[in-house]
Amino acid sequence: MTLTDKTQTAIETLAKKAVKNTLSSNELSYFEKVARKFDEIEEKARQKFYPNRKEDEAELEIYIQDYVEELIANGLSEEDALEKAAAVIFAEQPKNPEEKRKEAYQAHYENISVAEEEAIGLTYGSRIFLGIVIGAMLGIITQIIYTGSLFGIAFGVFLVLGLFLGVALGLAGHAKIVKTKS
């Protein structure tokens, strides 16, 4: 009998895991010891920080099993019945706020017009240049006052601060464009 590649890979993984579990600590390599320690830490963290939901899972499993059996009795294949059950289960669950926010962002950026994209890009570009110019001018003035030369540390500091100012102004412009659209 010939096994599928997936089954063969699962058998190899099982054999590796079984051999490692039978070895004593002195027979393990350093990296195997580290991996075993990480597994122990992960299991302790899971026990400490994740609540035990086995009862809820078992109850839901019985419900899903009954539903799948009912769908199979009504003529669906086992695979189709399982897909339909999963669709029903996940359709009944409300989305968390993070998913809703992510979907809203995706919808906004999928429907953004070319003109809006260009306006946002030009806003960023112009505000960044404006910030750099303001920073360079303040840097030169400060540098001349303190050292008498045009370029130096003060110039560099103010140039970087001007860049940050430009990015901040660009973000504000982006927000304004988005807000006026919605």
Q: What is residue 55's predicted lDDT score, i.e. its pLDDT?
A: 82
pLDDT of residue 95: 65
pLDDT value of residue 153: 82
pLDDT (tens digit, 9 = 90+) per residue, 71-105? Answer: 889 988 888 888 888 888 777 566 677 777 888 87
Report pLDDT digits (tens) over 135-151: 888 888 888 888 877 77
Average pLDDT for 105-124: 78
3-state class of 174 per DSSP? Answer: helix
pLDDT of residue 26: 80
Distance from C-alpha of 33 to C-alpha of 25, rounded to nearest angstrom: 7
Q: Is the distance from CB of 71 to CB of 81 less than 8 angstroms?
A: yes
The terminus-to-terminus CA distance of the chain in angstroms comes to 63
Tell me how far apart the alpha carbons of residues 56 and 50 are, in angstroms, rounded to a whole number.
14
So what's the pLDDT on residue 166? 83
Average pLDDT value over all residues in the chain: 80
Q: Whole-prediction pTM value?
A: 0.38
Q: How far apart are CA 101 and CA 12, in angstroms?
A: 43
Locate all alpha helices (DSSP H) within 29-152, ordered by sequence.
30-49, 54-73, 78-92, 97-110, 114-147
State residue 143's pLDDT score: 81
Distance (Å, whole) CA 65 – CA 81:
10
Write down the pLDDT at residue 182.
60
CB 36 within 8 A of CB 28: yes
What is the gyration radius of the CA atoms in the chain, in angstroms?
31
State the CB neighbour count (10 A cutoff) for residue 76: 16
* Residues 177 and 116: beta-carbon distance below 8 Å: yes
55-70 pLDDT, tens digit each? 888 888 888 888 888 8
In this structure, what token pair is assigned to residue 46? 């899971």
Residue 177 has pLDDT above 80, yes or no: no
For the residues of 159-182, what is the DSSP string, one character each?
Answer: HHHHHHHHHHHHHHHHHHHHHHH-
Percent of the chain with pLDDT over 70: 94
